[in-house]
Amino acid sequence: MAASFLGKRQKRSVAQAECSCSFSMCIKKLRCQCLLVGAHSCCCKGLAFTRIWRSLHAANTGDSWPPGLPRISCRYRLIRSARVVMGWTSSMQTAGPVPGRGGWQSWSLRSRFFLAAALALCVTVLMVVLLLQSALTSADQQERVQRYELPAQLQSVAARVQAQLNLATRLQTTDKAEIGRMCEQLNRFLERLHTAFRDVRTSVNAIHANAGSIARGNQDLAQRTETEVAALEHSASSMEELATSVQQNAETAHMASSLSSNATDVARQGGELMTQVVEHMQSIAQRSGAAAREIRDLIQESNARVSNGAQHVEQAGATMQDIVQAVQRVSDLMQSIASASQEQARGLSSVTQSTKQMEQVTQQNMALVDEVAAAAAQLEAEATRLHDLMGAFHLEQNSTMTLALR
């Protein structure tokens, strides 16, 4: 009954519209597809079937759509064709091939096309699955590296740097992603740290050298200060002795001035006594002339002697006057010497006080120099210790340690 029904429908469709075009979805094929999918209930009517055929013909040939006909999309046609392909085995077993022009050949081409499309779709889906799997695998591998390998390698680098204090260590990696950027940032940090420690080492070396120079200079200054203190002490003692000598000279000059004054007084008294002697001699001569007229020869002789004695007394008086004047001049000179000695004594006293003050200041400077020398020695010791500590860091480029990360 099904076979007779299919035969009647095929004859009726061929009688109503003959397929004279090269369009693959011809009336025969479309009717065959409709019969295969069990859609003969909507395609058996001639008017509806003709409309569907005209719509498909206009869609494939580019002609304008007939007025009043619905627009059938390509998706609708592809869905119907896919239904036919999916139901090919069961429908063909019951319906069999549809007679007509190019039936089996057109169906074979369409089936190949749809099989190729399905195969391409499967290949595309497979490629997408493989790409997703590779992406997930690379993500898992990267996560595994970040979780396990990278921290272990970084811990190894940190342990080496901590053990050897080698700031010339650099990380090398072939990865251009986050690991590479992180290694590059770490290398830049190590480079800046290396530069900073190198500058610190240079400064420490300069401080060490300058501290040694300061210590040696302070030692020399301390020795020279000790020598100056000894010289100032000797000068102070010499100035004290000179002040004592000048004081004694001033006292001696004062005593000499007193003695000169006494000698002047004695000489003046001697001159007065000689004048009195001359006067007594003259009075005696007068008495002798008056009383001893008789002894004229004796008187004449006495007068002659008295005259000679008076001349000698006058000469002695003049000499005594000269002595008095000389003693007066000596007394004036001794007074000048005494005043000069007093001034020298006062000057020496001020010089002695200044020398004592200089000695005190020098002793204070000596104590300060000792303190500075001790501080310089301590600074040199600290600079040496800092130099030794900085020597523990390896900053030479020939000691560079590399670590490869992949």
CB hemisphere CA count around 46 (13 angstroms): 8
The answer, yes or no, to whether residue 301 has pLDDT greater than 50, is yes
Distance CA 263, CA 67 (A): 176
The answer, yes or no, to whether residue 72 has pLDDT greater than 50, is no
402 SS3 class:
strand
Q: Which residue has the higher pLDDT, 260 or 89?
A: 260
pLDDT at 88: 42
Q: What beta strand segments (E) does 210-263 contain?
A: none
Q: Which residue has the higher pLDDT, 342 or 298?
A: 342
Work out the pLDDT band at 144, boundaries 50, 70, 90.
Answer: low
pLDDT at 24: 43
**Are 236 and 286 a contacting pair, CB within 8 Å?**
no
pLDDT tens by residue, 82-121? 444 444 444 443 344 444 444 444 556 666 777 777 777 8
User: Considering only 30-39, 196-205, 221-230, 260-269, which range has the smallest mean pLDDT?
Assistant: 30-39
Work out the pLDDT band at 79, boundaries 50, 70, 90.
Answer: very low
- Average pLDDT estimate for 235-243: 75
Both tokens of 185, joined, read 């940032």
Can you say whether the dihedral through the CA atoms of 326, 327, 328, 329 is positive or negative?
positive
| Cβ neighbours around 280 below 10 Å, total | 10
User: Which residue's entry shows tokens 């020597």?
Assistant: 391
User: Which residue's entry shows tokens 């006495």?
Assistant: 302
Across the chain, what does the average pLDDT equal?
64
With a pLDDT cut of 70, the percent of the chain lying above it is: 46
Distance CA 306, CA 300 (A): 10
Q: What is the CATH number of domain 224-392?
A: 1.10.287.950
The answer, yes or no, to whether residue 38 has pLDDT greater than 50, is no
pLDDT tens by residue, 169-187? 666 666 656 666 777 777 7
| Cβ neighbours around 332 below 10 Å, total | 12
| Cβ neighbours around 83 below 10 Å, total | 16
* Most confident range, picked from 41-55, 132-146, 154-168, 357-371: 357-371
pLDDT at 241: 77
Residue type, 291: A
- Average pLDDT estimate for 373-392: 77
pLDDT at 124: 82
pLDDT at 321: 75
**Are 90 and 36 a contacting pair, CB within 8 Å?**
no
**Are 400 and 169 a contacting pair, CB within 8 Å?**
yes
Q: Which residue has the higher pLDDT, 7 or 265?
A: 265
User: Considering only 131-140, 186-195, 291-300, 363-372, which range has the smallest mean pLDDT?
Assistant: 291-300
Distance CA 371, CA 45 (A): 127
With a pLDDT cut of 90, the percent of the chain lying above it is: 0
Q: How far is Cα of residue 266 from the mean position of the Cα atoms in its chain?
A: 96
Distance CA 85, CA 238 (A): 138
Distances (CA, A) of 75 to 23, 79, 101: 18, 6, 26
pLDDT at 21: 40
Work out the pLDDT band at 54, boundaries 50, 70, 90.
Answer: low
Distance CA 127, CA 130 (A): 5
The answer, yes or no, to whether residue 80 has pLDDT greater than 60, is no
The answer, yes or no, to whether residue 70 has pLDDT greater than 70, is no
Work out the pLDDT band at 357, boundaries 50, 70, 90.
Answer: confident
